[in-house]
């Protein structure tokens, strides 16, 4: 990681590299509480699952749309031994348009997969917490996400799959 670069994206501090946020916007938002109002009767001790995904699309030249999707689901123990019940589901797609100049190849991919999601994540965290509270559930603060680790894991999986196809 370069000095002063909290994202761990090597391309961020490359000579001539320039990243500019042109716009940050909410692309999609969904909230479901399929068991309401029954879900409010019992104790709120859900099994929480969070899925995070990112994707980047080149808009033109050096402009990219990066979309960070977070899906939060909270399931409650079944009543009377039946199937677990879904307490709530929140899906947020937070997007940004980024101008990225002076880098290509792997450094560009690292910026799009690490630096840009790091910029978008605080907006996702605030939106999830806000919408959960508006559903009258207890506040939910998303823990920080290590996008560099997620990127390295995705590369490792891709390399493993490529190696298996060659055999």
Question: Domain residues of the chain, as ranges?
Answer: 10-166
Q: What share of residues in the chain are helix, strand, coil (percent, to 5)?
A: 35, 35, 30
Count of beta carbons in the 10 Å neighbourhood of residue 56: 19
pTM of the model: 0.84
Identify the band that residue 7 occupies on the pLDDT scale cut at 50, 70 and 90: very low
3-state SS assignment for residue 49: strand
Selected from 3.40.50.1220, 3.40.50.300, 3.10.420.10, 3.90.550.10, the CATH number assigned to the domain covering 10-166 reads 3.10.420.10
* pLDDT score of 81: 67
pLDDT higher than 90, residue 164: no
- Tokens 């939910």 locate to 140
Q: Extract the tokens encoding 50.
A: 């969070």
């Amino acid at each position: 990681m370069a000095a002063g670069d909290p994202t761990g994206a090597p391309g961020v501090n490359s000579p001539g590299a320039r990243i500019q946020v042109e716009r940050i916007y909410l692309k999609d938002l969904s909230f479901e509480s399929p068991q309401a109002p029954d879900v409010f009767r019992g104790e709120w001790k859900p099994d929480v699952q969070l899925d995070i995904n990112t994707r980047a699309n080149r808009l033109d030249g050096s402009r990219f749309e990066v979309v960070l999707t977070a899906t939060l689901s909270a399931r409650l123990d079944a009543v009377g031994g039946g199937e677990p019940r879904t307490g709530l589901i929140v899906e947020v797609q937070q997007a940004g348009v980024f101008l990225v100049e002076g880098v290509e190849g792997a450094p560009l991919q690292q910026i799009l997969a690490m630096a840009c999601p790091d910029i978008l994540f605080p907006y996702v965290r605030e939106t999830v917490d806000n919408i959960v509270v508006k559903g009258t559930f207890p506040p939910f603060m998303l823990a920080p996400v290590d996008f560099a680790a997620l990127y390295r894991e995705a590369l490792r999986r891709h390399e493993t799959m490529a190696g298996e196809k060659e055999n």
